[in-house]
């Protein structure tokens, strides 16, 4: 998703700095608070200002809650929630200076619960809570904050999820995920470019009135809740 978002924003003329553990403009581990601070500082050093923050780092974990380990909890919360929070924390003063905006990549599981996904649910409900809180806190400063809440997206993360949790049958695992979609035989996974299109809109002038929104992009799977 991050790669697709970068390409979409660059295509409209934005200067984009990517941050990741490897092969990025800024190498940073968002689970470490000092690296979130450095990531923002290096971005400012490269380009002088910050108009948009997109928090797209994420990991998945699933399984019975009674088998969850502390390491699984820590990694999921640290990447999905702590990383998003402290990226925002250090970006906010610079977003206030430019009256910019932030988009946090959440999940449909930040809107509804899912069996065997309590830790992931906790992290993504937290992301949506941060989104709503910051939207109100920063509105007087002209800063907008929204989240995007996708269902399963066709990414290497999803492939890894199927490999790790598919009990030796990753294709069967993916088929079961598709079967949960209301489109039945028309079902498919969301494409990264579709997420990027929504992020591009939310960071455009056309979206100026939109803040504090946690926007589903999930084939309608949460519509009945």
Other C-beta atoms lying within 10 Å of the C-beta of residue 222: 15
Other C-beta atoms lying within 10 Å of the C-beta of residue 58: 22
For the question of residue 120 being annotated catalytic, the response is yes
Three-state secondary structure call for residue 7: helix
H/E run at residue 81: none
Q: Which two tokens stand for residue 50?
A: 């910050």
Annotated active-site residue in 90, 109, 120, 173: 120
Q: How far is CA 13 from the centre of its chain?
A: 22
- C-alpha atoms less than 13 angstroms from C-alpha of 163 in its C-beta half-sphere: 6
Q: Which residues have a catalytic role annotated?
A: 120
């Amino acid at each position: 998703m991050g790669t697709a978002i970068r390409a979409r924003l660059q295509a409209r003329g934005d200067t984009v700095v990517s941050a990741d553990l490897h092969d990025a403009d800024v190498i940073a581990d968002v689970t470490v608070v000092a690296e979130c601070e450095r990531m923002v500082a290096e971005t400012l050093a490269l380009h002088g200002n910050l108009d948009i923050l997109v928090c797209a780092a994420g990991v998945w974990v699933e399984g019975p809650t009674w088998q969850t380990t502390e390491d699984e909890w820590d990694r999921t919360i640290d990447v999905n929630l702590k990383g998003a929070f402290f990226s925002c924390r250090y970006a906010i003063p610079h977003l206030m200076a430019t009256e910019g905006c932030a988009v946090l990549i959440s999940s449909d599981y930040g809107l509804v619960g899912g069996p065997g996904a309590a830790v992931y649910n906790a992290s993504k409900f937290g992301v949506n809570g941060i989104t709503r809180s910051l939207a109100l806190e920063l509105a007087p400063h002209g800063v907008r904050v929204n989240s995007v809440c996708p269902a399963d997206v066709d990414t290497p993360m999803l492939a890894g999820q199927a490999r790790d949790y598919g009990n030796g049958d990753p294709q069967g695992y993916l088929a079961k995920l598709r079967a949960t979609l209301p489109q039945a035989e028309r079902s498919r996974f969301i494409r990264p470019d579709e997420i990027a299109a929504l992020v591009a809109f939310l960071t455009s002038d056309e979206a100026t009135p939109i803040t504090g929104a946690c926007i589903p992009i999930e084939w309608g799977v949460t519509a009945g809740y």
